[in-house]
Amino acid sequence: LKSIAIMTSGGDSPGMNAAARAVVRTALYEGVKVFGIYDGYKGMLEDRIVELNSQSVSDIIQRGGTFLGTARCPEFKQEETRKEALKILQRHGIEGLVIIGGDGSLTGGSLLSDLGMPIVGLPGTIDNDVWGSDYTIGADTALNTILDAINKLRDTASAHRRIIVLEVMGRKCGWLAMMAGIAGGAEYVLVPEVKYDLNKICDELKTSYDNGRRYSIVVVAEGVGSAVDIGKEIGEKTGIDTRVTVLGHVQRGGSPTAEDRVKASMLGEKAALALLNGQSNIVFGINEGKVVAIDLHDSVNNNKTLDPELVRLARVLSK
């Protein structure tokens, strides 16, 4: 194998740069050419493909975002479009491709692999919703960003005797919300995976404020619905001053944590080596601290569930 390519796709996440850097440096170390594809599948179709060298990935390990850019490309869902993409890759002599992205990007990758392009996926998303891996690149950084917000919200909430409702990202997955709730000491965490009764929550909140509680934090995963609506309902039902913060895209940014940099680097190296050793159609993830290979099709065809232990712990500690 003489050339591989690297691409980031879908929602960006902090640590994608560290992963891409590891892919590039590993390939070069092994004497293989490596191309960067700009702006995901969109750039692939527009043939924005450039050979990279070691310096191409200098000074990026500490940065959030992705130096390759990322994009959404709905046309990639059509087989004709993917056949076009395959031709473009083959014209450059690309014999294997590392895709760093979320579930959608990896689904696109699995379909491209069905056409014969060797693909290795890396889970790059703050949502931590990729099946088969406990870890995704960027989730730890996003979690720490949320935690920082909760710490700040606590200060102002306690000063005013308020209920703070905080909406966090995660798409259909409640992992970020649940982890942030546990780490931030939230009173309630609403996630799409677990049923909740807002009337009951409001009654409990009212009782605890009547008993002298100064403030409460309610974390809402975006998959549950709008925190603005939920906050309005809580305010009306409890009669307690309630404020809503929708954290939004700050969760995507920022310098990656040490954990995200190191794990992304480990995954990037494994991805490049796998392609060079003739392995493909896998996603590398991390379970129990070790890099593991997951079948690409299995990963995109299964939905990750939220660890019930986390749900239980959050419940016990908020009482």
Q: Which residues are annotated as a binding site?
A: 11, 21-25, 72-73, 102-105, 125-127, 154, 162, 169-171, 185-187, 222, 243, 249-252
- Tell me the binding residues for substrate: 125-127, 162, 169-171, 222, 243, 249-252
Q: Which of 4, 5, 7, 11 binds ligand ADP (CB under 6 A)?
A: 11
**Is residue 104 close enough to count as binding ligand ADP by CB under 6 A?**
yes
**Residue 245: HSE in the Cβ half-sphere, 13 Å Cα cutoff:** 20
**Is residue 101 close enough to count as binding ligand ADP by CB under 6 A?**
yes
Q: How many other CB atoms are there within 10 angstroms of residue 266's CB atom?
A: 18
Compute the distance between CA of residue 135 and CA of residue 128 in angstroms, rounded to an integer.
6
Q: Which of 4, 5, 9, 169 binds ligand ADP (CB under 6 A)?
A: 9
Stretch in the footprint of ligand ADP (CB under 6 A) among 100-108, 144-152, 220-228, 275-283: 100-108
Compute the distance between CA of residue 99 and CA of residue 40 in angstroms, rounded to an integer.
9
Q: Is 30 left (phi over 0), alpha (psi -120 to 50) or beta?
A: alpha
The verdict on whether 127 is a catalytic residue reads: yes
Stretch in the footprint of ligand ADP (CB under 6 A) among 54-62, 107-115, 147-155, 226-234: 107-115
The answer to whether residues 225 and 171 touch, using CB atoms and an 8 Å cutoff, is no
Q: Which is nearer to ligand ADP, 119 or 234 (CB)?
A: 119
Residues forming beta bridges with residue 203, ordered by sequence position: none
The DSSP string of 172-232 is: T--HHHHHHHHHHT-SEEE-TTS---HHHHHHHHHHHHHTT---EEEEEEGGG--HHHHHH
Q: Which is nearer to ligand ADP, 11 or 132 (CB)?
A: 11
Q: Which of 103, 140, 167, 187 binds ligand ADP (CB under 6 A)?
A: 103
Active site residues: 127
Which spans of this chain sit near ligand ADP (rule: CB under 6 A)?
A: 9-11, 41, 72-74, 76-77, 101-105, 107-108, 111, 125
